[in-house]
Amino acid sequence: MSSASLGSMVNRGDMPAARRNATATRILDVALRLVQVRGYNAFSYADISAELRITKASLHHHFRTKAELGTALVSGYRRDFLAALDEIDRRGGDAPAKLAAYAALYLQVLRADRMCLCGILAADFETLPKAMRREVTEFFRANEVWLTGIFEHGRLAGTLRFDGDPGLMACVVVSSLEGALLVARSYGGVRSFEAVVKKLLDGLRVRS
């Protein structure tokens, strides 16, 4: 799974087979971009209808409600992101290398002039449908579980240095990267984000 997919598409595997077609794919791609750029509450079916030049009735045929569309987006994004983490594991490398590869996933999204889907949805969390909130929560939980394993391995291997619980450090990394994306979007751009990532990772890496 290429990290580029995190800024341009979502996994369609959660869609019923009868609805897994070209139109549904285009709807998901446009909706993903709109949410990553504007936020969930700032786009409507009218925006998608106008961009794709299809009727609202056609949109409702594929996704009956905006909540259903939003849930499909988050579920697919989470699966794509976790697939990217699996790819990092398959490539191997030490804990610092895996942390750098993890941060690169966020950088790829920023380079596409977007935000992490779940990060931007977290800002509107209380206004989201329940199914979407569950998916957003699971996204962050799954990321922290994966990162906790990296920190545990890095400490045992002597390649990472940090105080306290590995799970807490996992939370710190996720929060830092999500926050750095928000700041970079409004000020500093890619250079700002890269500087934050370098400072974060340098502080964790054990120098040989």
Q: Which domain holds residue 100?
A: 3-204
Question: What total number of domains does the chain contain?
Answer: 1
- 111/32 Cα distance (integer angstroms): 16
- Residue 22 is predicted with a pLDDT of 85
124: pLDDT strictly greater than 50: yes
Contact 139, 77 (CB under 8 A): yes
Phi, psi (5° rounding) for residue 160?
-125, 145
Among 123, 113, 107, 106, which residue's Cα sits nearest to residue 39? 123
- Residue 1 is predicted with a pLDDT of 38
- Residue 186 is predicted with a pLDDT of 85
**Could you tell me if residue 39 is left (phi over 0), alpha (psi between -120 and 50 degrees) or otherwise beta?**
left
- 127/207 Cα distance (integer angstroms): 45
C-alpha pair distances (Å), 71 with each of 46, 97, 127, 167 = 18, 32, 13, 27
Mean pLDDT, residues 177-189? 91
What percent of the chain has pLDDT above 90? 84
- Residue 188 is predicted with a pLDDT of 81
pLDDT digits (tens, 9 = 90+) for 84-113: 999 999 999 999 999 999 999 999 999 999
Looking at mean pLDDT, say which of 12-26, 30-44, 50-64, 137-151 comes out highest.
Answer: 137-151
For the chain, the average pLDDT equals: 90
4: pLDDT strictly greater than 70: no
Rounded to two decimals, what is the model's pTM?
A: 0.88
- Residue 17 is predicted with a pLDDT of 43
- 59/24 Cα distance (integer angstroms): 8
| DSSP class per residue in the chain | --GGGGGT----TTS-GGG-SHHHHHHHHHHHHHHHHH-GGG--HHHHHHHHT--HHHHHHH-SSHHHHHHHHHHHHHHHHHHHHHHHHHH---HHHHHHHHHHHHHHHHHTT---HHHHHHTTGGGS-HHHHHHHHHHHHHHHHHHHHHHHHHHHHTSB--SS-HHHHHHHHHHHHHHHHHHHHHTTHHHHHHHHHHHHHHHHBPP-
CATH number, residue 109: 1.10.357.10
- Residue 18 is predicted with a pLDDT of 39
pLDDT digits (tens, 9 = 90+) for 14-27: 444 434 588 899 99
